[in-house]
Chains A and B, each alone.
Chain A
Amino acid sequence: KAGVTQTPRYLIKTRGQQVTLSCSPISGHRSVSWYQQTPGQGLQFLFEYFSETQRNKGNFPGRFSGRQFSNSRSEMNVSTLELGDSALYLCASSLETGTFGNTIYFGEGSWLTVV
């Protein structure tokens, strides 16, 4: 069974540009979450999607957005990139949300460097 797949693995963007990251969850998983990891702030929750609906949102500006498709694949978008957006972006998936005993699996991440 394939794990959580994220693309691209590495990318470099210029300030002011926008970027789209993609995540394919484990087959059968319907919940997808996104996280940002930086040396200074650690791992921080961005948002969670379930059945194409955003269920939870972290404390990030509106430049960060996401969506989920009917096949549970998800994308996140960051517009008007800033240097501080340089980070490892991690996607995670689980079968359900709001139930006990949910195991959450993470992908390898997408490294974003903003120059």
Chain B
Amino acid sequence: SQELEQSPQSLIVQEGKNLTINCTSSKTLYGLYWYKQKYGEGLIFLMMLQKGGEEKSHEKITAKLDEKKQQSSLHITASQPSHAGIYLCGADGPGKGSGNTGKLIFGQGTTLQVKP
């Protein structure tokens, strides 16, 4: 059963615009991962969040985990064509707090297109 919901499913933005992708779980998240994927290729690790209220940034991408640890957002500032791809959130067994394993549950992904 799907335990992580991503929204929106797809997004088309003009280059230079900001955008936000959300990832929501019905259970507490212990270890939330964000990845980017180009179609047919592997997943590129972006960030991992664990603590409620945690926020991490890398270049123009910022990810946050809310205080309740049930929702995460990925924000891209001043989008560029290089940001295009599929963004996936993954979590280690939502509701399980016994340490992180390699068994991740993923959202369905958000496809981002950036128009030059």
Contact = CB atoms under 8 A, between A and B. Distances in A.
Interface of A: 4, 6, 31-33, 35, 42-43, 45, 48, 50, 55-56, 58, 88, 90, 92-94, 97-109, 111
Interface stretch (B21-29, B62-70, B75-83, B103-111): B103-111
Given A43-B88, A100-B31, A101-B50, A107 B42 contact: yes
A48 B43 contact: no
Contacts of B43: 90, 92, 106
Q: Which 3 A-B pairs have the closest CB atoms?
A: A33-B102, A106-B43, A108-B42
Nearest to B99: A98
B116 interface: no
Interface residues of B, number: 25
Interface in B9-39: 30-31, 33, 35
B67 to A, nearest CB: 18
Contacts of A98: 98-101
Interface of B: 30-31, 33, 35, 40-45, 48, 50, 88, 90, 98-106, 108-109
* Chain A residues touching B, majority SS: strand
B45 to A, nearest CB: 6
A42 B1 CA distance: 12
Nearest to B105: A45
B41 A31 contact: no
Contacts of B35: 106
Given A42-B108, A106-B45, A109-B42, A56 B100 contact: no
